[in-house]
Amino acid sequence: MTTIVTPTTTTLPTAWHRLKPIWQGEGEEIQKGLPHTQLAPAWQLLLLGDGSPTRHLQLLTCEPTEVDVIDMSLIGNISDNAPSLIEAVPGPRLRRQVWLRTASGKRLGYATSWWEASHVDEFLQNRSLPIWASLARIRTELYRDIRGIYCGYSEALELGFEQAGPFWGRHYLFWHHGQPLTLIYEVFSPHLAKYLGQTQLSSSND
């Protein structure tokens, strides 16, 4: 009798949800910040600040931020349609996708991260925890290096968030001991306007 074992990590990559941008910025826009008529100050703190998004979501909602892991794929050395910074993460790589949600079930964010496959268990000892919580448990010192910001659309994220786009997102590298640890791509739900206000201000309020 043959026993079929289902792996916890897939070896056939599934799709991940990259925005189709209508605007994107990097470098100078990230350092200087955007005009408030383009992106309101509270949203800029979330997207361009170097703090933990899962911690920020918890503070905003007064609920623990939990994750639903929807994909753990071994992708080898392919570029995976990721930002070009994926080349900074040594291969072979593992891709992880999650929904970020409140304990009561409201999805507030989506994240994809790419890790060196041979080291992922060292840093994500409990893969069901948010990355911030996992790294805080082992007292890992990190630098969040934000490299890109986007406004765009995704049909899959519209369904997942149950909100119409456009959505704001970003990507960044985590550095640890002077070496790139992981590349992360995050998108946030417009539902956060309940806590942060609208993403854009009228020109009269600038």
The string of DSSP codes covering 43-108 is HHHHHHS-S-HHHHHHHHHTS-EEEEEEEEEEEET--TT--GGGGGSPSSEEEEEEEEEETTS-EE
How large is the average pLDDT for residues 48-66? Answer: 88
Of 51-60, 83-92, 97-106, which range is least confident?
Answer: 51-60
Q: What percent of the chain has pLDDT over 70?
A: 80
Residue 206 has what pLDDT?
A: 42
Residue 72 structure tokens: 């753990």
- 94-143, pLDDT tens digit by residue? 999 999 999 999 999 999 999 888 776 665 655 555 555 555 554 455 67
pLDDT band at 205 (very low <50, low <70, confident <90, very high): very low
Kindly state the average pLDDT of the residues 48-52.
83
Q: What is the CA radius of gyration of the chain?
A: 17
pTM confidence score: 0.83
* Range from 104-108, 147-151, 188-192, 198-202 carrying the lowest mean pLDDT: 198-202
